[in-house]
Structure 1
Amino acid sequence: MTSLTCLALNCSLKADGPSNTDVLLGQALDALAEHDVTGEVVRVAAHDVLPGVTSEAQGPGDDWPALRERVLAADILLLGTPVWLGNPSSVCKRVLERLDAFISETDDQGRMVSFGKVAGVVVTGNEDGAHNIAAQLYQGLSDVGFTIPTNATTYWVGEAMGSVDYGDLDETPEKVAQTTSMMAANLAHVARLLRQHPYPPVS
């Protein structure tokens, strides 16, 4: 079995400390490990990602160019975000804005530099919005060259305005575990297919 790598970007608003998105991303990486995929979680807010739509540094101390290299070095990208007002976090939107540069960055066969990479979405929150977020991120990730397998999202949304966080649960809900497992299997499957059968050159 071909070994693969995954980069999981946690777009929590917090640079460190407890994060429900971290917990579900960790479970997703555990599920991916069952398919010979190794990975790591990176807390984006712990890095200085400046606003912009290019891959180049937008100013002194811009950490995006280094993060970009890690994105492109991985076979699988997991984009994890909490729900804020029914939408992805501002940190997640910043990542998408910087990934926008891939549209004009191509290899020697005219394909976007992200062609051949697959992506999935992980969402946590205490309000509605998981499906809306998946729809937004699927479209954005596809626009910048990532392949989205079927069932490439896992999420947990607690009781509206509730006080229980995902990280506080005594055990993983069965449906969340099943969905995470299915997402991991599909991500690894499609990543291997694309490794063996790359997209054709752009004419």
Structure 2
Amino acid sequence: MRAVILNCTLKQSPEPSNTQVLADVVAEGLRERDVEVRSFRVVDHVVPPGISTDIGDNTDHWPRLHGELLDAEILIVATPTWLGRPSSIAQRVLERMDGMMSETDDDERPVAYNRVAGVVVTGNEDGAHHVISEVTGALCDIGYTVPGQAWTYWNMGPGPGPSYSDTDHGHEWSHKTARAMAHNLHGVATALQKLPLGPPPGEEPVT
């Protein structure tokens, strides 16, 4: 089984990413279950705006990232919170994933079917539940299955404050939730492998 983490931090490598540090806790939980995990910092790639997998730009890295999604049963979108919302990079990822809604596999199923997804959120401001709702809602639209408690987050609380890596505040809860997230993602992905969803039914016959 394979998992992909799309880290939607605004920080380019090699600048440290708080979001990656928390996402790595989930990755560790998945690796303990023999899941191969690959992580991509999207801002390090050229991903122009658009709503298609292939926008006809040979400098566009999204088709390669899209290929990674199709090679994985588990997707984790990891994003910081800015102004109480997902990062602009996360929004761009979801917009490019919109193209998957019209793509089908050899069995005429949407390509996101029988794949699971979860969300990691960090930020020294509140708004994590709003971010989780926005991202998981979009992933469900695209066709991913989002298990119960397939998320973890960390924030410092109201007002400005230190970042995730600058303090131990709240880490115990965030890590416990991250481990539960890994457990649930793997469990539901395993169940879908054993009993996959079929293609959605066609239109009802007119009578």
| 1:192-203 → structure 2 map (5 Å cutoff) | 192-203=190-201
Which structure 2 segments of 5+ residues have no match?
202-207
Paired with 1:60 and 1:75, the residues of 2 have a C-alpha distance of: 27
**Are the equivalent residues in 2 in contact too, given 1:57–1:65 (CA < 8 A)?**
no
SS of match in other structure, 1:92: helix
CA deviations on 1:47-105 (whole Å, 9 max, x unpaired) are: 00011111113423010000000011011000000001100000000000011011111
Give the counterpart of 1:68 among 66, 69, 82: 66
Structure 2 partner of 1:136 = 134
Paired with 2:194 and 2:164, the residues of 1 have a C-alpha distance of: 37
Offset of residue 202 of structure 1: 2.6
Alpha carbons of structure 1 residues 202 and 109: separation in structure 2 relative to 1, 3 Å: farther
Structure 1 partner of 2:166 = 168
Structure 2 partner of 1:14 = 11
Question: After alignment, is 160-169 or 147-156 more displaced?
Answer: 160-169
What root-mean-square deviation, in Å, do the aligned CA atoms of Structure 1 and Structure 2 show? 1.4
CA deviations on 1:93-136 (whole Å, 9 max, x unpaired) are: 00000110111111233210111110000000011110001111
Give the counterpart of 1:102 among 92, 100, 103: 100
**Are the equivalent residues in 2 in contact too, given 1:57–1:63 (CA < 8 A)?**
no
Paired with 2:97 and 2:67, the residues of 1 have a C-alpha distance of: 11
Which structure 1 segments of 5+ residues have no match?
none
**Are the equivalent residues in 2 in contact too, given 1:25–1:41 (CA < 8 A)?**
no
Paired with 2:63 and 2:84, the residues of 1 have a C-alpha distance of: 29
Offset of residue 171 of structure 1: 7.8
Question: After alignment, is 53-62 or 136-145 more displaced?
Answer: 53-62
Question: Which letter does structure 1 place at the counterpart of 2:117?
Answer: A
- Identity of aligned pairs, percent? 44
When normalised by structure 2's length, the TM-score is 0.92
Offset of residue 19 of structure 1: 0.8
Structure 1 partner of 2:152 = 154
Question: After alignment, is 25-34 or 54-63 more displaced?
Answer: 54-63
Paired with 1:172 and 1:76, the residues of 2 have a C-alpha distance of: 26
| 1:34-45 → structure 2 map (5 Å cutoff) | 34-45=32-43
**Are the equivalent residues in 2 in contact too, given 1:124–1:155 (CA < 8 A)?**
yes
Mark the structure with the bigger radius of gyration.
Answer: 2
Question: Which letter does structure 2 place at the counterpart of 1:5?
Answer: R
When normalised by structure 1's length, the TM-score is 0.94
Offset of residue 163 of structure 1: 3.2
Question: Which letter does structure 2 place at the counterpart of 1:37?
Answer: V
Paired with 1:168 and 1:5, the residues of 2 have a C-alpha distance of: 31
